[in-house]
Structure 1
């Protein structure tokens, strides 16, 4: 199944051109990583091998957004079927809301040990390779180890994000818990400038050990011992037993139909379901053009309604009180759609039972495709780096809450509401291609906008990414990019939206797309808001 679009029809000036290939393609936000993934395909690997190699490289090349101590999710099209992988970790056995509140917290903190959950990415690499990979697992680590050991030039956007994280938190903290971060990721009070060569030798040692032990060291061996020891010595909750019991799990993707296509996402605990709920609401509304104020107003209102439902109901699926089928019901979407009028509303969740991240995608010449996302969550995550390992632990537990009556309250062995979501577009059960937009709570909003740009407005992949974006940030507050049409912004204000025009666009998500066009040719696009790159063969 191919997707038809006019490759030369642009409504907006593009800073990038579409990239074409036939035998392989990798698209991500760091050029060196994309090329490393393509090298794997040229060596005889498939799209899964390329995705793993690219992801491993990204822990070195873009440490601001992801790391060895983060989580991942994947959607894999392999031999005429779509598979889902959930490699998100659970809270430690010792975690509970009562103890956290007793320490003086009224909400989950961003930094430190409390928001650290078991990192799932390494297990994700292992399971993907074991089930679908063609090459030896160790071979997938070679480029990442080379860059970590011998250095790589830091790309411009990553340099700026690196500096921002340092200035906002690490520069002024005197807590010794974050000393290892400063040793690994800064140099005498500064972070790397664009083009500066940076080495991460501890990363190289750790990645080599993970490769040689096929991930066992991280969860049940020497690396697990180091994580356990550092946690015990510095007040953390995570233990080796928490690591030992974890394994990434294969899940059945969820989807919704939208105007002749199927948009596929990973089921909860991820919030890809929010994008699907918003599309369900939009499906019954008339839309005109991308820059029509009425269309954008309706998109915003649909997203708000879907998001508040997601934030109320989505959690570890073992604890959810409503089902994914109820949330994705077309009848429920019709009820929510009726709440959309001329003016902006303050959204409230309904009752459906009544009716920092990196993204990459890959494709090979055999028809296999991967949509993959990996994250340490907020910037560098928790700020904790396990001494001598380069393992920056994520802070995904920040998405738990401390309300003991909530399905998403932190608890032992429980997975939190998760913001990272890979997407995959199909038509009549056949693959069109992987897509994703990284960026925390922007992700389902990016999915909605990119998919409507593609399906409703006929944009090709690069145009769909280039088009100016909006982001709902709570209440009636909306952020828009500088390129957003002024007349549309004025009309949205008249309708009651509280608009802020952002000076830069890095918070509007950073996405990638690969599709097969009407000729069976691979067509790739990468985000103009980052250092993105499409490597093709």
Structure 2
């Protein structure tokens, strides 16, 4: 089935289809990657194998969004994971032993340098994430799981419109020859021999083939003292206890801090307590979700860091107090007294009912615009989440993980059965978008196509980036998609919000995907048409 939203003048309709997958289903930002995942399912792999295969393919086809030089987080539920709760993996990298905040401050930096500086690139955790997931839960040999990605890299693949549009941003970046010199237009074939070689090394030698091989040695050279051998020897993927909130008759799970997923849970808890209704066309729906997200986000600047107590941030008394601040007729954050991004999300399920919610990221487009020489791998810039304020709990320093916007989400029923896998890209807007997806799924009761294709809002600040939205709460403007209900803009403005109707923007409102597990039917999913080439592919 398909969902088509109402279209206003100049608006773009994101036509989204619900796909059923009784024998397995993969939703991702790229059809080629989704097909890589389902090929592994057909070969006898499980949902974890499919998720890794899809993720690996995306490192080849979408280097503007993710890569082996980035980070990964995931939740897994279903057969083989235990009955009590999902398994949760944090494979976000740590700053190298050479991390020196005083040196950056002495150079005049007040925030982490986002581009052209390797110091904003913690040791990437993506590959450790694959290996840890596969080692515990994978079914097929790793070489078979990575084979579709290797084939795409070696034989070539059609360049997506978004990749072709963004490739000129790499002009002048050393080590990007295979991307820059290709000079490809949308639809033209692009080969990536460097990543193919890295993937083959991982398939043959595992961790030693990547962190202890060509990539690791070249990373040490590129780091010029930022990293030491022991930084690469240290495993970067940890099984952690999931963070959960009971809301709207379900249990919603995410990765605990340093993940920002806690803000999505807090937003949902505030919205439920504030009386969020089931009609998204009502401007009160938009207002209450905006207010819930903003009030949850107040904890972001100083409350999100590695080791933060996520349970404290979603404690009932805390959420009650925040919900009590909500005025249904007026925005509360009128002053400061209350003081695309480069990410992919994918979800996969198999015929046995296992589900994987996985997110992988460069942070900002091509990351920090530093390539590991000779490998074709660009480094992420997740280090921009660090603070340079002396004594800040998230201060840049050796061995530390930065605060992450990554917010993969998994939903279970009270009896423990799997209800949904969902998530999105979008920097600081991820938790805002996850809140809206949860509300449409669990309160309104929309099917996957309607949830994913529905109009969205995101918060922005004047002259800001999508990674500093929470620095000035009073400066927020609400950007709404042009196909939003006609009532949204006047209804929000009447309540004191600054509102902007966005021009067609395929990257500014997330690329979300969803697999729903109905109690009385097969799994069904939808991929986001905003990604232009995304697809939900069934076995």
**TM > 0.5 fold call:** yes
- The residue number in structure 2 matching 1:330 is 316
Q: Distance in 1 between matches of 2:374 and 2:3?
A: 52
Mapped pair 1:527 → 2:528: yes
After the TM superposition, which of the residue ranges 50-59 and 288-297 deviates more from structure 2? 288-297
Q: Is the 8 A contact 1:14 1:462 kept in 2?
A: no
Residues 1:430 and 1:78: Cα distance change in structure 2 (over 3 Å)? closer
- The residue number in structure 2 matching 1:3 is none
Query: What displacement does 1:349 show?
Result: 8.7
Q: 1:186 aligns with which of 180, 193, 197?
A: 180
Structure 2 residue ranges without an equivalent (≥5): 7-12, 462-474
- The residue number in structure 2 matching 1:88 is 92
In structure 2, the residue corresponding to 1:405 is in which secondary structure? coil
- The residue number in structure 1 matching 2:450 is 463
TM-score (norm 1): 0.91
In structure 2, the residue corresponding to 1:250 is in which secondary structure? strand
Mapped pair 1:274 → 2:266: no
Residues 1:116 and 1:455: Cα distance change in structure 2 (over 3 Å)? same
Q: 1:381 aligns with which of 347, 367, 382?
A: 367
Q: 2:119 aligns with which of 111, 114, 118?
A: 114
Q: Distance in 2 between matches of 1:257 and 1:33?
A: 33
In structure 2, the residue corresponding to 1:255 is in which secondary structure? strand
Q: Distance in 2 between matches of 1:179 and 1:156?
A: 23
Residues 1:502 and 1:239: Cα distance change in structure 2 (over 3 Å)? farther
Q: Distance in 1 between matches of 2:301 and 2:44?
A: 43
Q: Distance in 1 between matches of 2:97 and 2:161?
A: 40
In structure 2, the residue corresponding to 1:438 is in which secondary structure? coil
Query: What displacement does 1:10 show?
Result: 7.4
Q: Distance in 1 between matches of 2:78 and 2:285?
A: 36
Query: What displacement does 1:527 show?
Result: 0.5
Q: Distance in 1 between matches of 2:525 and 2:363?
A: 26
Q: Is the 8 A contact 2:16 2:450 kept in 1?
A: no
Q: 2:159 aligns with which of 151, 154, 161?
A: 154
Q: Is the 8 A contact 1:304 1:347 kept in 2?
A: no
- The residue number in structure 2 matching 1:4 is none
Q: Distance in 2 between matches of 1:157 and 1:460?
A: 28
Q: Distance in 1 between matches of 2:47 and 2:526?
A: 17
Q: Distance in 1 between matches of 2:214 and 2:21?
A: 42
In structure 2, the residue corresponding to 1:180 is in which secondary structure? coil
Q: Distance in 2 between matches of 1:470 and 1:347?
A: 21
- The residue number in structure 1 matching 2:468 is none
Mapped pair 1:57 → 2:49: no
In structure 2, the residue corresponding to 1:147 is in which secondary structure? helix
Give CA-to-partner distance per residue, 1:385-429, whole Å, 9 cap, x none.
111111211110011110012111111111000011211111112
Q: Distance in 1 between matches of 2:399 and 2:445?
A: 44
Q: Distance in 1 between matches of 2:455 and 2:193?
A: 39
Equivalent positions of 1:60-209 (< 5 A) are: 60-79=60-79, 80=83, 81-111=85-115, 112-160=117-165, 162-163=166-167, 166-167=168-169, 170-171=170-171, 178-181=173-176, 183-187=177-181, 190=183, 192-209=184-201
Q: Distance in 2 between matches of 1:427 and 1:311?
A: 32
Q: Distance in 1 between matches of 2:37 and 2:2?
A: 28
TM-score (norm 2): 0.90
Structure 1 residue ranges without an equivalent (≥5): 1-6
Give CA-to-partner distance per residue, 1:332-365, whole Å, 9 cap, x none.
11111122222222476979xxxx1011111001
Q: Distance in 2 between matches of 1:378 and 1:155?
A: 18
In structure 1, the residue corresponding to 2:450 is in which secondary structure? helix
Q: Is the 8 A contact 2:264 2:434 kept in 1?
A: yes
In structure 2, the residue corresponding to 1:404 is in which secondary structure? coil
Give CA-to-partner distance per residue, 1:115-150, whole Å, 9 cap, x none.
010100000000000000011111111111111111
After the TM superposition, which of the residue ranges 151-160 and 81-90 deviates more from structure 2? 151-160
Q: Is the 8 A contact 2:96 2:398 kept in 1?
A: yes
Query: What displacement does 1:312 show?
Result: 2.0
Q: Is the 8 A contact 1:27 1:362 kept in 2?
A: yes
- The residue number in structure 2 matching 1:238 is 227
Q: Is the 8 A contact 1:439 1:507 kept in 2?
A: yes
In structure 2, the residue corresponding to 1:179 is in which secondary structure? coil
Query: What displacement does 1:8 show?
Result: 8.1
- The residue number in structure 2 matching 1:29 is 29
Query: What displacement does 1:487 show?
Result: 2.9
Q: Is the 8 A contact 2:394 2:403 kept in 1?
A: yes
Q: Distance in 1 between matches of 2:495 and 2:220?
A: 54
Query: What displacement does 1:275 show?
Result: 0.3
Mapped pair 1:301 → 2:274: no
In structure 1, the residue corresponding to 2:493 is in which secondary structure? helix
Mapped pair 1:263 → 2:240: no
Q: Distance in 1 between matches of 2:337 and 2:262?
A: 15
Query: What displacement does 1:480 show?
Result: 1.1
- The residue number in structure 2 matching 1:477 is 477
Aligned residues: 507
In structure 1, the residue corresponding to 2:185 is in which secondary structure? coil
In structure 2, the residue corresponding to 1:508 is in which secondary structure? coil
Q: Is the 8 A contact 1:346 1:476 kept in 2?
A: no
Give CA-to-partner distance per residue, 1:287-346, whole Å, 9 cap, x none.
3310211221111111111112123201011xx3xx222111111111111222222224
In structure 2, the residue corresponding to 1:193 is in which secondary structure? coil
Give CA-to-partner distance per residue, 1:448-490, whole Å, 9 cap, x none.
0000011111111110111110011242311111112233202
In structure 2, the residue corresponding to 1:507 is in which secondary structure? coil
Q: Distance in 2 between matches of 1:98 and 1:294?
A: 47
- Alignment RMSD, CA only? 1.9
Mapped pair 1:422 → 2:408: yes
Q: Distance in 2 between matches of 1:221 and 1:184?
A: 20
Give CA-to-partner distance per residue, 1:230-286, whole Å, 9 cap, x none.
322xxx512322111133000111111112111110101000000001111111122
Q: Is the 8 A contact 1:219 1:240 kept in 2?
A: no
In structure 2, the residue corresponding to 1:220 is in which secondary structure? coil
